[in-house]
Amino acid sequence: MSKPIPDIVIGRLPIYLRALVQMAQEGRQVTSSQELGERLGISAAQIRKDLSQFGEFGKQGTGYRIEFLSKQLGEILKVDRVWDVAIVGAGDIGRALASYSGFSQRGFRIAMIFDSKPELVDKEAAGIVIRDSRKLKEDIAAAGIKIAMIAVPATQAQEVVNQLVEAGVRAILSYAPVHLSVPAGVRVQNIDPSIHLQRMTYYLD
C-alpha cells in the first residue's frame, strides 16, 4: 500500500501549476526546478522532492517540459476537467466569487448561487439566478455538485455545511470566520482575510 501524500505537498502543486501556466503564456517550453524555485521562493530540492512523489517528470540536465508537466499536474489535481461549484451566500463576497473569471480558467464553473434573503432570491449575480437556500439540498443533490464555497455569517455556517454534506458535497471552501465540523471524507478549507492581516501586522513596526 503506497504512503499517503502529505497535504502540505498537495498544497504546493497548484502553485507549481500556476507558475508553469504563466511560463507557457510567456512562450516558454522548458524549465528547471532551480528556475521554478526562484520564481516561487521554494528551494529547487523541495520542488524535486514534491514532484518525485508522483513519478519522474524531467531529466537531469534537461529540466522539465512545461506543457507535459502542466498536463501531469492537472491530472494529479483532477483539474483536467471542469468542476461545477455552488456558492452559498450572495452578499458582497459571494457576488465577487461569482464574478471572478479566474475560476473558469482553472477547471471550475460557478453553476449555482443560493441565498436565504427573499429580496435576493430570483435576482441575478454574474448572470446566474440566485436560488432559495431552502432548496439548497435538493438542488445540489440533483445536480451532483461536489464542490461548494460558502460566504455566510458565522452563525449560519455550520448548518449550511451540514446541508451541503447531506447533499453530497465533499469539498468546501469557507469564507465564514468560524471552525466547521465535517465528517471523514469531506474536506474544508477556511479563508479568513482578517487572520492573514493579523499575521502580517505582527511584523509591522
Specify the CATH number for the domain of residue 23: 1.10.10.10
Q: What CATH number has the domain bearing residue 89?
A: 3.40.50.720
Confidence of residue 189 (pLDDT cuts 50, 70, 90): very high
Mean pLDDT taken over the chain: 93
Confidence of residue 62 (pLDDT cuts 50, 70, 90): confident
Among 50, 76, 102, the domain boundary falls at 76
Instruction: Give residue 1's pLDDT.
Output: 45
The reply to whether 68 and 107 lie within a common domain is no
Strand partners, 43: none
The reply to whether 72 and 135 lie within a common domain is no
202 domain-assigned: no
The reply to whether 170 and 91 lie within a common domain is yes
Give one word for 115, left, alpha or beta, with left for phi > 0 and alpha for psi -120 to 50. beta
Report the residue count for the chain. 205
Coil/strand/helix, residue 51: helix
Domain count, the chain: 2
Work out whether strand 171-174 and strand 128-132 pair parallel, antiparallel, or are unpaired: unpaired
For residue 131, what is its C-alpha cell?
436560488
The reply to whether 131 and 156 lie within a common domain is yes
The reply to whether 99 and 157 lie within a common domain is yes
Give one word for 63, left, alpha or beta, with left for phi > 0 and alpha for psi -120 to 50. left
133 domain-assigned: yes
Instruction: Give residue 58's pLDDT.
Output: 64
Among 25, 42, 76, the domain boundary falls at 76
Query: What is the end-to-end Cα distance of the chain in Å, rounded?
Result: 51
Per-residue CA distances from 152 to 74, 98, 108, 122, 159 (Å): 30, 14, 21, 18, 10
In the chain, pLDDT over 70 holds for what percent of residues? 97
Which residues constitute the domain of residue 65?
7-76
pLDDT tens profile 84-104: 999 999 999 999 999 998 898
For residue 202, what is its C-alpha cell?
505582527
The reply to whether 144 and 182 lie within a common domain is yes
Among 43, 76, 109, the domain boundary falls at 76
Instruction: Give residue 56's pLDDT.
Output: 79
Cα gap 205→49, rounded to integer Å: 37
